Structure 1
Amino acid sequence: MGSNSPYIQSSRAIRCLLLTSILALSSTLAASPLVPEDIAYKPGSTAAPNENTSAGVIVGSAELPTPDTPTTAQVNARPAARQNQCTDQRREHNHLGKSLVITRFTNSNPQTANAGNLFAAESGMAELIRNDLAQANPMLAPNLIPLGFALPDLSETQRKQQAQKIARQARAQFVLSGTIHDMALTDANTTYNPGIYRRLANGFHDLTGIQKFDPRTRLFSLELELRDGFTGEPLLTRHYTTSGIWNTRKPIGFDSPAFAKTPYGKQIRKLGKTISQELVQTLDCQPYIATIEAYPGQTQVILQGGANNGLQAGATMQLYQLVVVGSNTEYQVSETRLVKRPTQLHLSEVYPSHSTAVIEDGSYLNGQYLAVID
C-alpha cells in the first residue's frame, strides 16, 4: 500500500488531531480547581433546560399549553397582536421620535451573578437594550438613568405612581424597567471543579466549538415592563429566558469584550436584539404625545416636543386632558385618565426641543393637558 494512500493520509490526520487536542488540553489540566463556594452559587434543584434553549430565546412559558388554558407567552403577546392591527393606521406617524427612559434593572437573585463577576448585569443589560433600540429605530433616543425600578414588593398602584414620577422627571412618554431573576449555572462543578474526564471533555468542546452535550449551561431570565409615563399603565410585560455555555473561569465582567466572545455572552446579545425588535413594534403602535405648558389668559401654548421629534410647523394635534380620579375604596389612591376634548392645536413655530401652538377655538386651558398625534 503506497505512502500516499487515503488510508494512511486519514491516519495521519487523526494523529495530528489527537496531538493538537492534547497540547490544547494541557493548560486546562494544569488549572487549579475551584470549589463551588468560591464562585458563589450552586443551584439546588435547577433542572437542565431543553436542549434547544442553548441556541435560541424562549419568550414566556416553556410548558406546553392545554387546549383550554392560554400560556404566559400567549397572554403577554397580546400587545404584539394589537400592533398588527394598528400598523397601517399609524405607519405615517412612525417617523415621530417618542421619548423613552430606561431605568437601571434590578436583580432578584444577585448571588447568581458571582460566577464570572457579572455584577454589572443590571446596568449592562439596560445599556445593551438601549443601544439595540437606537439601532432598530434611529428616531427613538432612549435615555438611561441609574435609578432602579420594578421591585417585587411594589404594588400595582405604587408601580404606576413611580412610573409617572420617573417619566415626569425625565420628560419621557414611556418608562422601561426590568428585573433579572436568574443567572445560575445548572452545574457549577462542570466549569469550576471538573474531574479528569470532564476537563478533557471541556477542552474538546472548547477546541472544536461543538456545544451539543456540553453540560456547562448557564441560564438567563429577565422580566421587562413597559409603562405609559402619563398614566403609569402597563403597555407590555414580557418574560424572556435564554441560556448558553459558560466556559470561562475568569472574572471577565458583564458585556466586556471577553464576555461577548463566550457562547453565553452571544446568547445575551441575541436576546437584546429580540427584545429591542418587540419594543419597537409596541412603541410604533402608540400615539405620539407631548406635554403642554399653558398659561392663564393665553391661547398660545408650549409643547415639550419639537423638530428633534419630527414635528413640523402647520401640523395639527388633538387635545387631551389629564384627569385624576380618586378611588372610592382605597385611601390616597388615584387613577390618571386621558380624556379627549373636541379641540385641536395648530403648531405655529417649531424649535429643536419645543414648539408653540395655538388653540383652535381660541379658548383658554385650565388644568393639565397633552397634545396627541393619534
Structure 2
Amino acid sequence: MFNLLRLICATLLLSFSALTTAITIEAQGQSMIFDGDLDSARQNAIRNASQQAALQASVFVSSTQKVTDGVLSIDNMQIKTLGQVNDIEILDEAIRNQTLHVRIRAEVEYEADCRGGIRSQGYMKSLAVTAFPLLAPTQAILGSLENIQSEFSAQLTNNINEKTQLTARNAGLLTMHPSIQTAPSRQLSAGAITTVLQEIQQLDVQYVVSGVIRDMTMHDPDTIALKRNILVDFYNRQDYRSKRHLRNLVVDIFIHDGFSGALLFSKQYVVAGRWNLEPEAKVGFASAAFWKQDYGMQTQMLINQITDDLQTELRCKPFAASITRTDGTFIWFNAGSQSGINVGDRLSVYRKSSFYTNGIGENVQLTNTQSSITVTEVQPFFAVGRLTQEGSTYNIQPDDVVITH
C-alpha cells in the first residue's frame, strides 16, 4: 500500500513538472531617478530586471526585441503573459548618470508546453457561449428537456467561470448555426460555403463557443414505449441498472476566433447515462430531478470535460481586445481590470482589414503595425493606452485590435 501511494505521488509530481518548469536566471534592469526618489527607481529597475529574466527564461524573441548594453529591451510585447518571476535577490546596484542599475537573481516558472513559455495565468480571455440547437427536437420530449438548447450554454458558462482562467458570457438565446446539419459551416443560396463571421462579430469577444446537440435517444426505445403493461413496468423498475435504460448525449463543440471568424477547435463528445424516470415525467433540463439521474450526472461530467478542453485549447493563445476609440496618441480598448489589465502593461497594435474570396466569403486579416501602447489608465471594463507616435501615423481606427505575445 505504501509503495502504491509513493507511485501515485511520483506520477502527480511528474505530471505537474511536465507543465511547469523553473530555472534560475540572472538579469539586469535600470530606471531613471526622478526628484531623488530612489525607492521608486529601485522598484522600477527591479521590475525591468524581472521582465528581462522572464524573457530569457522563456526564450521568447520578438521581432522588435533588441539588446542594449547586455540588457534585453522590450517594445512590441506584453511581459505579463510570460514566466512568473519568484524569489528575487538583488545582487548589485549602482547609480550612473541619474540612472539606477540593478542586477538580480530570480527563479522563473513558465509553462514548458506553451510556445515561448506563455502562461495561462495572464489576462482573462473573453468568450461567449451561444445556444446548442437540437438536430432532432422531438428527442427532447422525453423528460421535457427542450430547454437544453439554451440552458446547456448557461451551465457551460457557469462552469467555465468557476473553473478556468477565462471570462465567459452566456449568449444562450443566440443561435450561431441556422444550418444545423452542416454546422459549423453553412451553404449560401449560390452554393458557396461560408462561416459564421457576421454572427460572431456582433458578440465583441475574443472567442465564441457554440455547438449542436446531435443525439438524445434511448439505447433501447422499448423501455419507454407507450404501449406497456404492469409486468413491463415492474420489470423496468427492477432492472433500472441495465444498459437498456441508457440514453445518449452527443454534442458537437466549436470554438471560433472572435475577430477573424476562423474555426479553431471542433470536437464531438459522446456520453450515455441511465434514464430511469417514467416516460410521462417532465423534469426539464438542469432541474434538481434531472441532476439526480445518472443521465444528469453523466451530463455534468461531460460539461466538466468540455470546460477542461476549452481551457487547454485557449490557455496558450495570446490575449486580444478591440480598440473602441482613438485620440492622437491615446487608444481606448474594451478590456480593463476585470480582464487583468494594469497600468504600465504593453500591448501590440494590429490593423484589422477585410477582403472577400470570390466576391462572397469575407476574410479578416490582422496586420502588425510594429507599434505598441503602454497602458496609462484602467477602468473595470476598458483601458487607455498611449502610443509612441500619433495614431494617425498608423491609421489606427476603432475595431482594430491590441494583442499580447
* TM-score where L is the length of structure 1: 0.69
Match of 1:311 among 321, 329, 341: 341
Q: Which has the higher strand share?
A: 2
Q: 2:259 aligns to what?
A: 230
Misfit runs of 4+, over 6 Å: none
RMSD of Structure 2 on Structure 1 (CA): 2.3
Secondary structure at the aligned position of 2:118 is classed as: helix
Aligned residue pairs total 280
Q: Distance in 1 between matches of 2:325 and 2:291?
A: 49
- Taking structure 1 as reference, are residues 294 and 255 closer, same or farther at Cα in structure 2, changes over 3 Å only? closer
Match of 2:354 among 316, 321, 324: 324
Match of 1:113 among 140, 143, 147: 140
% same residue: 24
Tell me if the contact between 1:321 and 1:367 (Cα under 8 Å) persists in the aligned partners. yes
Secondary structure at the aligned position of 1:311 is classed as: coil
Q: Show CA shifts across 1:178-210 (max 9, x none).
A: 11111111222223455566434422244xxxx
Which structure carries more relative contact order (alpha carbon 8 Å, separation 6+)?
Answer: 1
Q: Which has the higher helix share?
A: 1
What aligned pairs does 1:107-256 form with structure 2 within 5 A after superposition? 107-137=134-164, 139-150=166-177, 151-152=179-180, 154-155=186-187, 158-165=194-201, 169-192=202-225, 193-194=227-228, 198-206=232-240, 211=241, 213-249=242-278, 250-256=281-287
Q: What code does the residue aligned with 1:141 have? A: A
Query: Within the alignment, does 1:295 sit opposite 2:295 as a pair?
Result: no
| Unaligned runs of at least 5 residues, structure 1 | 1-82
| Unaligned runs of at least 5 residues, structure 2 | 1-110
Tell me if the contact between 1:101 and 1:170 (Cα under 8 Å) persists in the aligned partners. yes
Tell me if the contact between 2:149 and 2:172 (Cα under 8 Å) persists in the aligned partners. no
Q: 1:80 aligns to what?
A: none
Q: Distance in 2 between matches of 1:87 and 1:202?
A: 54
In the TM superposition, what is the alpha-carbon distance from 1:107 to its structure 2 partner?
0.9
Q: Distance in 2 between matches of 1:85 and 1:138?
A: 17
Q: Distance in 2 between matches of 1:139 and 1:120?
A: 25
Secondary structure at the aligned position of 1:190 is classed as: helix
Q: What code does the residue aligned with 2:350 have? A: Y
Q: Distance in 2 between matches of 1:127 and 1:112?
A: 20
Q: Distance in 2 between matches of 1:197 and 1:136?
A: 46
In the TM superposition, what is the alpha-carbon distance from 1:139 to its structure 2 partner?
4.9
- Taking structure 1 as reference, are residues 244 and 229 closer, same or farther at Cα in structure 2, changes over 3 Å only? same
In the TM superposition, what is the alpha-carbon distance from 1:124 to its structure 2 partner?
1.7
Tell me if the contact between 1:320 and 1:341 (Cα under 8 Å) persists in the aligned partners. yes
Tell me if the contact between 2:349 and 2:372 (Cα under 8 Å) persists in the aligned partners. yes
- Taking structure 1 as reference, are residues 197 and 290 closer, same or farther at Cα in structure 2, changes over 3 Å only? same
What aligned pairs does 1:9-88 form with structure 2 within 5 A after superposition? 85-86=113-114
- Taking structure 1 as reference, are residues 363 and 88 closer, same or farther at Cα in structure 2, changes over 3 Å only? closer
Q: Distance in 2 between matches of 1:87 and 1:279?
A: 18
Secondary structure at the aligned position of 1:147 is classed as: coil
- Taking structure 1 as reference, are residues 84 and 256 closer, same or farther at Cα in structure 2, changes over 3 Å only? farther
Tell me if the contact between 2:125 and 2:339 (Cα under 8 Å) persists in the aligned partners. yes
Q: Show CA shifts across 1:71-118 (max 9, x none).
A: xxxxxxxxxxxx984276221x53311111111111111111111111
